[in-house]
Structure 1
Amino acid sequence: MSSDAGSVGERSRRVVRADRDELISGLAFAPDRFQIEAFDALDAGRNVVVAAPTGSGKTVVAEYGIAADRVDGRRSFYTAPIKALSNQKYRDLVEIHGEHAVGLLTGDNSINGDAPIVVMTTEVLRNMIYAGRSLDDLATVVVDEVHFLQDTYRGPVWEEVIIHLPHHVRLIALSATVSNVDELAEWIGTVRGPTVAVVERKRPVALDNKYLVADRDENKLHLLEMFIGGGLNRDALKLDESAIRRRPRQDDRGNNRRQSRPTSGGRRLATPGRIDTVELLHDKGLLPSIFFIFSRNQCDEAAKACVDAGIVLTDDHERTAIAGIIDERLSGLDPDDLEVLGYDRFVRQLDAGIAAHHAGMVPAMKEVVEACFIAGLVKVVFATETLAVGINMPARSVVIEKLTKFTGDHHEQLTPGQYTQLTGRAGRRGLDEVGDAVVLWSPWTRFDEAAQLASSSSYHLRSVFRPTYNMAANLIRTHSADEAHRLLNLSFAQFQADRDVVRIEARLERKRETLREKLAEAESPYGDIDEYRGLRDAASAERRQRRNGVSSGQMRGAMAKLKPGSIIRVSHGDVKGPVVVVATAHRTSGVRLTAITKGEALIQIDGEDLVEMPEPVGSIKLPSNFGPQRKGYRRDVAKRLRTADIGSDKQVIRSNPSGRRPLHHDDLDVARDPDLRIRLEAAARADRLQDEITKLQDRVSDKNQSLGDEFDRVLTLLDEWGYADVAEWRLSEHGEMLASVFNETDLLVAEMLREGLLDDLEPADLAAVVSCVVYEHRSPDDPPAPWFSSKEVRSRWIRLAAISEELRTDERRLGLGEHRAPDPTFAAIAHAWVAGEGFAEIVDEEELTGGDFVRTMKMLIDLLRQIAKVAPSPSVRRAAGRAVDEAVRGVVADGSSSS
Structure 2
Amino acid sequence: MSSPSERYAAARRRSRFTHLAEFTMHHPFELDDFQQVACEAVEEGKGALVAAPTGAGKTVVGEFAVHLALATGRKCFYTTPIKALSNQKYHDLAEAYGEANVGLLTGDSSVNGHAPVVVMTTEVLRNMLYADSPTLAGLGFTVMDEVHYLADRMRGAVWEEVILHLPQDVQVISLSATVSNAEEFGAWLDQVRGTTEVVVSEVRPVPLWQHMMVGTELFDLFGEGGAGARAGRSRGVNPELMARLRSARAADTGWHREDAGAPRGRRGRKRGRGGPSAREQRRGHAAGHRFEQPAGEGSRRPVGTPSRAQVVSTLDDAGLLPAIVFIFSRNGCDGAVRQLLATDTRLIDTAEGERIHHEVERRVLSVAPEDLGVLGYHDFVEGLTRGFAAHHAGMLPLFREIVEELFAAGRIQAVFATETLALGVNMPARTTVIEKMVKYNGETHADLTPAEYTQLTGRAGRRGIDVEGHAVVLAGPRVDPLQVAGLASTRTYPLRSSFRPSANMAVNLVDRMGRDEARHLLEESFAQFQADRAMAGHSHAVERNEEAMAGYAEAMSCHLGDFAEYAELRHQLTQAEKDAAKQRGAAKRAHVQRVLEELSVGDVIRVGSGWKAGRAVVITGTHGVSKRHDDVAVVNDSGRLRTMTADDLTEPPVVQGSIAIPPRFNPRKPKDRKDLAATMRAKVPDTDPPARRRGQDTTGTDEPGLGGAAGERIDSLRAALRRHPCHACPDREEHARWAVRLQQLKRETSGLRRKVARRTHTISRTFDRICSMLAEWGYLSEDGQEVTDAGRTLQRIYGEKDLLVAECLRQGVWRGLDASELAAVAGIVIHESRRGEVDVQPAMPTTRVQRAHELMLDLWSRIEDSEIEHDLPVTAQPDAGIAWMMHRWAAGARLEVVLRDSELSAGDFVRRAKQVVDLLGQIEKAAPHPAVQGTARKAMGLMLRGVVATDRLD
Q: 345, 348, 358: which one pairs with 2:392?
A: 358
Q: Is the 8 A contact 1:523 1:679 kept in 2?
A: no
User: Does the alignment pair 1:372 with 2:368?
Assistant: no
Which residue of structure 1 lines up, in the alignment, with residue 472 of structure 2? 438
Q: 770, 783, 801: which one pairs with 2:857?
A: 801
Change (3 A) 1:190 1:321: same
Letter in 1 for 2:479: T
Which residue of structure 2 lines up, in the alignment, with residue 208 of structure 1? 209
Change (3 A) 1:41 1:682: farther
Letter in 1 for 2:47: N
Moved more, 424-433 or 806-815: 806-815
Change (3 A) 1:419 1:675: closer
RMSD over equivalenced CA pairs, Å = 3.4
> In the aligned structure 2, how far is the partner of 1:59 from the partner of 1:483?
35
Q: Is the 8 A contact 1:179 1:458 kept in 2?
A: yes
Q: Is the 8 A contact 2:775 2:784 kept in 1?
A: no
Q: 1:897, CA displacement in angstroms?
A: 3.9
Which residue of structure 1 lines up, in the alignment, with residue 918 of structure 2? 862
Which residue of structure 1 lines up, in the alignment, with residue 705 of structure 2? none
Q: 1:241, CA displacement in angstroms?
A: 5.5
> In the aligned structure 1, how far is the partner of 2:451 from the partner of 2:130?
33
Q: Is the 8 A contact 1:74 1:139 kept in 2?
A: yes
Change (3 A) 1:371 1:14: closer
Q: 388, 397, 402: which one pairs with 2:422?
A: 388
Q: 1:765, CA displacement in angstroms?
A: 0.7
Which residue of structure 2 lines up, in the alignment, with residue 127 of structure 1? 127
Structure 1 segment 58-69 matched on structure 2, within 5 A: 58-69=58-69
- Partner of 1:24, secondary structure, is helix
Q: 204, 221, 234: which one pairs with 1:225?
A: 221
Q: Is the 8 A contact 2:210 2:222 kept in 1?
A: yes
Q: 1:116, CA displacement in angstroms?
A: 0.6
Structure 1 segment 526-541 matched on structure 2, within 5 A: none
Q: 1:271, CA displacement in angstroms?
A: 2.4
Which residue of structure 2 lines up, in the alignment, with residue 882 of structure 1? 938
- Partner of 1:787, secondary structure, is coil
> In the aligned structure 2, how far is the partner of 1:60 from the partner of 1:674?
56
Mind listing any 5+ residue stretches in structure 2 that lack a counterpart? 1-11, 228-233, 264-296, 542-577, 595-626, 634-642, 649-749
Q: 1:242, CA displacement in angstroms?
A: 6.2
Q: Is the 8 A contact 2:213 2:304 kept in 1?
A: no
Change (3 A) 1:376 1:675: closer
Moved more, 81-90 or 715-724: 715-724
Change (3 A) 1:322 1:172: same
Q: 1:272, CA displacement in angstroms?
A: 2.8
> In the aligned structure 2, how far is the partner of 1:247 from the partner of 1:748?
54
Q: Is the 8 A contact 1:325 1:368 kept in 2?
A: no
Change (3 A) 1:248 1:716: farther
Q: 1:494, CA displacement in angstroms?
A: 0.5
Q: 1:235, CA displacement in angstroms?
A: 2.8
Q: Is the 8 A contact 2:20 2:43 kept in 1?
A: no
Which residue of structure 2 lines up, in the alignment, with residue 84 of structure 1? 84
Letter in 2 for 1:275: A
Which residue of structure 1 lines up, in the alignment, with residue 697 of structure 2? none
Structure 1 segment 639-718 matched on structure 2, within 5 A: 675=631, 698-718=754-774
> In the aligned structure 1, how far is the partner of 2:629 from the partner of 2:412?
59
Which residue of structure 2 lines up, in the alignment, with residue 75 of structure 1? 75
Change (3 A) 1:195 1:813: same
> In the aligned structure 1, how far is the partner of 2:952 from the partner of 2:799?
19
Deviation sequence 1:85-142 (CA, Å, 0-9, x none): 1111111110011111111111211111111111111111111111122434110000
Which residue of structure 2 lines up, in the alignment, with residue 837 of structure 1? 893
User: Does the alignment pair 1:453 with 2:454?
Assistant: no
Q: 1:501, CA displacement in angstroms?
A: 6.4
> In the aligned structure 1, how far is the partner of 2:822 from the partner of 2:938?
10
Q: 1:748, CA displacement in angstroms?
A: 1.1
Q: 807, 815, 829: which one pairs with 1:773?
A: 829
User: Does the alignment pair 1:235 with 2:268?
Assistant: no
Which residue of structure 2 lines up, in the alignment, with residue 790 of structure 1? 846
Structure 1 segment 32-71 matched on structure 2, within 5 A: 32-71=32-71
Letter in 1 for 2:496: R
Change (3 A) 1:886 1:37: same
> In the aligned structure 1, how far is the partner of 2:762 from the partner of 2:755?
6
> In the aligned structure 2, how far is the partner of 1:273 from the partner of 1:43?
52
Q: Is the 8 A contact 1:858 1:896 kept in 2?
A: no
Change (3 A) 1:14 1:700: farther
> In the aligned structure 2, how far is the partner of 1:159 from the partner of 1:247?
49
Which residue of structure 2 lines up, in the alignment, with residue 639 of structure 1? none
Structure 1 segment 45-444 matched on structure 2, within 5 A: 45-134=45-134, 135-214=136-215, 221-228=217-224, 229=227, 230-232=234-236, 233-240=238-245, 244=249, 269-444=303-478
> In the aligned structure 2, how far is the partner of 1:125 from the partner of 1:478?
16
- Partner of 1:120, secondary structure, is strand
Q: 1:790, CA displacement in angstroms?
A: 1.9
> In the aligned structure 2, how far is the partner of 1:125 from the partner of 1:368?
28
- Partner of 2:16, secondary structure, is coil
TM-score by length of 1: 0.75
Q: Is the 8 A contact 2:801 2:876 kept in 1?
A: yes
Deviation sequence 1:450-484 (CA, Å, 0-9, x none): 11001111111000100111111111111122211
Change (3 A) 1:521 1:462: farther
> In the aligned structure 1, how far is the partner of 2:948 from the partner of 2:527?
37
Deviation sequence 1:364-402 (CA, Å, 0-9, x none): 111111122122221111000111111111111000001
Q: 1:60, CA displacement in angstroms?
A: 1.1
Deviation sequence 1:308-343 (CA, Å, 0-9, x none): 011111112311331233133212211111121121
> In the aligned structure 2, how far is the partner of 1:806 from the partner of 1:524?
29
- Partner of 1:174, secondary structure, is strand
Change (3 A) 1:799 1:15: farther
Moved more, 294-303 or 245-254: 245-254
> In the aligned structure 2, how far is the partner of 1:732 from the partner of 1:481?
14
- Partner of 1:317, secondary structure, is helix
> In the aligned structure 2, how far is the partner of 1:326 from the partner of 1:23?
36
Q: 1:872, CA displacement in angstroms?
A: 1.2
Change (3 A) 1:14 1:861: same
Change (3 A) 1:13 1:28: closer
Letter in 1 for 2:881: T
Q: Is the 8 A contact 1:325 1:371 kept in 2?
A: no
Change (3 A) 1:258 1:502: farther
Q: Is the 8 A contact 1:45 1:170 kept in 2?
A: yes
> In the aligned structure 2, how far is the partner of 1:410 from the partner of 1:527?
26
> In the aligned structure 2, how far is the partner of 1:198 from the partner of 1:279?
41
Q: 1:503, CA displacement in angstroms?
A: 12
Q: Is the 8 A contact 1:524 1:679 kept in 2?
A: no
Q: Is the 8 A contact 1:15 1:43 kept in 2?
A: no
Q: 1:522, CA displacement in angstroms?
A: 12
Figure out how many residues of one structure are paired with residues of the other and give that number: 715
Q: Is the 8 A contact 1:307 1:354 kept in 2?
A: no
> In the aligned structure 2, how far is the partner of 1:706 from the partner of 1:247?
52
Mind listing any 5+ residue stretches in structure 1 that lack a counterpart? 1-11, 215-219, 260-267, 507-511, 529-670, 684-693
Q: 1:31, CA displacement in angstroms?
A: 1.0
Change (3 A) 1:699 1:782: same
> In the aligned structure 2, how far is the partner of 1:479 from the partner of 1:696?
35
Change (3 A) 1:673 1:448: closer
> In the aligned structure 2, how far is the partner of 1:124 from the partner of 1:375?
30
Letter in 1 for 2:205: P
TM-score by length of 2: 0.70
Deviation sequence 1:643-665 (CA, Å, 0-9, x none): xxxxxxxxxxxxxxxxxxxxxxx
Deviation sequence 1:425-450 (CA, Å, 0-9, x none): 10111111100000111322311011
- Partner of 1:88, secondary structure, is helix
Which residue of structure 2 lines up, in the alignment, with residue 758 of structure 1? 814
Change (3 A) 1:338 1:676: closer
Identity of aligned residues (%): 43
Moved more, 821-830 or 778-787: 778-787
> In the aligned structure 1, how far is the partner of 2:768 from the partner of 2:590?
35
Change (3 A) 1:213 1:521: farther
